[in-house]
Amino acid sequence: MYPVTPNTKISRSAKRGAYDEATINEILDEGLLCHIAYVQDGQPMMIPTGYCRIGNKIYIHGSVGSHFMRNLADGRKVCLTVSFLDGLVLARSAFSHSVNYRSVVIFSPATVVTDEQERWAALEAFTNHVIPGRWAEVREPSAKEMKATMVISFVIEEASAKVRTGGPNDDEEDYQVPVWAGVLPLKLQAQTPITDPKMLFEMPVPSYVLNYDKAAKPKQD
């Protein structure tokens, strides 16, 4: 359970808030994209980027020449968010319409990772986070590629989740309105893989691509 701070305290619809690691990590582990907000010259800036989690740290990476990475390299604090839109909640009144969602917000200073083992582990975890099983099949980074890559970590300490599930909640008298009501679930789904026309070999599409489902829960053995 993470401490509730003035930043992470959920004030609107407080019952949707959660501060436990299990809820937060499940959202982080399903997500592919995070948004990172930071302050530059007093102004809000934001970048969407990929990420992965190892233990209580989030890792991102980018080019050592990226303005974004270089801005964060001074250790400034960021606000990092991972969000899912899980469904449209269609009520009888316009006002009662809602969405089902899951989101995590983390406040953390940025730390440039310098330990080579940690950098390697982060890149391996990132690749396998995005597409489990991929790292073992591809050419590993060269020394030159590692040198061109900056890895930044964020510690998960000041963090909260917010989750809405379920159907519409209409005002009592609105249940008489003759309109269909319910939930239209939404899911980010893999489509048919497109083989690179530049492939030099005939190779089947791997099962981890064909059966890709980031929302599938990891098997508990």
Residue 84 · residue 180 · CB < 8 Å: no
Contact region for a second copy (CB under 8 A) — 18-26, 30-38, 52-60, 109-117? 30-38
**Is residue 54 part of the contact set for a second copy (CB under 8 A)?**
no
From 104, 84, 108, select the one nearest 162 (Cα to Cα).
104
**Which x/- pattern, by CB under 8 A, does the window 108-147 give for a second copy?**
---------------xx--x--xx--xx-xxxxxx--x--
Of 143-172, binders to a second copy (CB under 8 A) are 145, 149, 167-168, 170
**Is residue 201 part of the contact set for a second copy (CB under 8 A)?**
yes
Name which of 57 and 104 has its Cβ closer to a second copy: 104
Name which of 15 and 220 has its Cβ closer to a second copy: 15
From 128, 83, 87, 122, select the one nearest 106 (Cα to Cα).
83
CA distance 8 to 17: 9
Strand partners, 37: 46, 79
Pull the structure tokens for residue 141: 């980074």
Options 15, 198, 217, 219; binder of a second copy; rule CB under 8 A? 198
CA distance 81 to 68: 16
Options 19, 29, 112, 212; binder of a second copy; rule CB under 8 A? 212
Options 3, 55, 204, 218; binder of a second copy; rule CB under 8 A? 204
**Is residue 4 part of the contact set for a second copy (CB under 8 A)?**
no
**Is residue 75 part of the contact set for a second copy (CB under 8 A)?**
no
Residue 161 · residue 82 · CB < 8 Å: no
Q: Are strands 17-18 and 158-164 parallel, antiparallel or unpaired?
A: antiparallel
Options 75, 115, 147, 184; binder of a second copy; rule CB under 8 A? 184
Backbone angles phi, psi at 30, to 5 degrees: -85, -30
**Is residue 92 part of the contact set for a second copy (CB under 8 A)?**
yes
The CA-CA-CA angle for residues 219, 23, 14, to 5°, reads: 155
**Is residue 16 part of the contact set for a second copy (CB under 8 A)?**
no
